[in-house]
A and B are shown apart, each in its own frame.
Chain A
Amino acid sequence: AQSVTQPDIHITVSEGASLELRCNYSYGATPYLFWYVQSPGQGLQLLLKYFSGDTLVQGIKGFEAEFKRSQSSFNLRKPSVHWSDAAEYFCAVGAGGFKTIFGAGTRLFVKA
């Protein structure tokens, strides 16, 4: 069955430090992969997506993610975190049949 695992429930980083949020998926075929961000009281906003081609994907707000088929991973990275990046981040896989499977989310805290 398709699934998405985000191993870290929450992460705290200092402002200006680098960030990596982990995501592992289980899917038999080549997946369509997404990262969404949810700020407090807001809906989810798409950060970036991977369908095919270059495995390093650039997104909005300075985020990028790398698809690694051998590791079934799609980790999200940012070289320098800003306080406004504090939010909850969801990894998702488009698994066919109209459904998108979401991970449980990772809450990011940014300390000054």
Chain B
Amino acid sequence: GAGVSQSPSNKVTEKGKDVELRCDPISGHTALYWYRQSLGQGLEFLIYFQGNSAPDKSGLPSDRFSAERTGGSVSTLTIQRTQQEDSAVYLCASSLVGSRTGRETQYFGPGTRLLVL
């Protein structure tokens, strides 16, 4: 079946511009996660959506970052007034259900590689 898809696969932008990154989770998965992977770093948790509950935004690094999930499916991560330090791979993952214990297996998309010039 179809996995998690992300678009675009690559994005080059100029400092100060806004960007939108899209994630299509696996059909039927109610939980969706965004991570940032900087060069040589592990995955940094950004935000988590679970069904219709309020998202856990505790990982967003600044108020320039926001995300929404429409209809419980597709999610968009928006970065406003991009900075060079925002350059990274942005990974989306989904899981069948969310879990406060963190035990759910997450299925990852291929990521969007963002380069801010």
Q: Which listed residue, A44, A93, A99, A104, touches B40 by the CB 8 Å rule?
A: A104
Which of A12-20, A45-53, A65-73 makes up part of the contact surface? A45-53
Number of A-B contacts (CB under 8 A): 75
Known: A41-B110, A43-B4, A104-B40. A99 touches B45 (CB 8 A): yes
Interface: A84 (CB within 8 A) = no
Contact indicator B41/A96 (Cβ below 8 Å): no
Interface: B102 (CB within 8 A) = yes
Complex CA gap A49/B105 in Å reads 8
The SS class assigned to the B binding surface is: loop
Interface: B91 (CB within 8 A) = yes
- Measured CB to CB, the closest approach of chain B to A24, in angstroms, equals 13
Contact indicator A102/B4 (Cβ below 8 Å): no
Q: Which listed residue, B40, B45, B58, B107, touches A100 by the CB 8 Å rule?
A: B45
Complex CA gap A93/B3 in Å reads 23
Contact indicator A43/B111 (Cβ below 8 Å): yes
Residues of chain B lying within 8 A (CB to CB) of residue A103: 42
Known: A99-B48, A103-B42. A94 touches B91 (CB 8 A): no
Complex CA gap A95/B100 in Å reads 8
- Measured CB to CB, the closest approach of chain B to A6, in angstroms, equals 8
Interface: A97 (CB within 8 A) = yes
Q: Which listed residue, A41, A45, A104, touches B42 by the CB 8 Å rule?
A: A104
Interface: B25 (CB within 8 A) = no
In addition to A94-B101, A98-B98, 4 A-B residue pairs with Cβ atoms within 8 Å of each other are A36-B108, A46-B107, A49-B105, A96-B100
B residues lining the A interface (CB < 8 Å): 3-4, 31, 33, 35, 40-43, 45, 48, 50, 56, 58-59, 91, 93, 98-111
What are 21 sample pairs from A and B whose C-beta atoms fall under 8 A apart? A34-B105, A43-B108, A43-B111, A44-B43, A44-B91, A45-B108, A46-B105, A94-B99, A94-B103, A94-B104, A96-B101, A97-B102, A98-B50, A99-B59, A100-B33, A100-B106, A101-B45, A102-B35, A102-B42, A102-B43, A104-B42
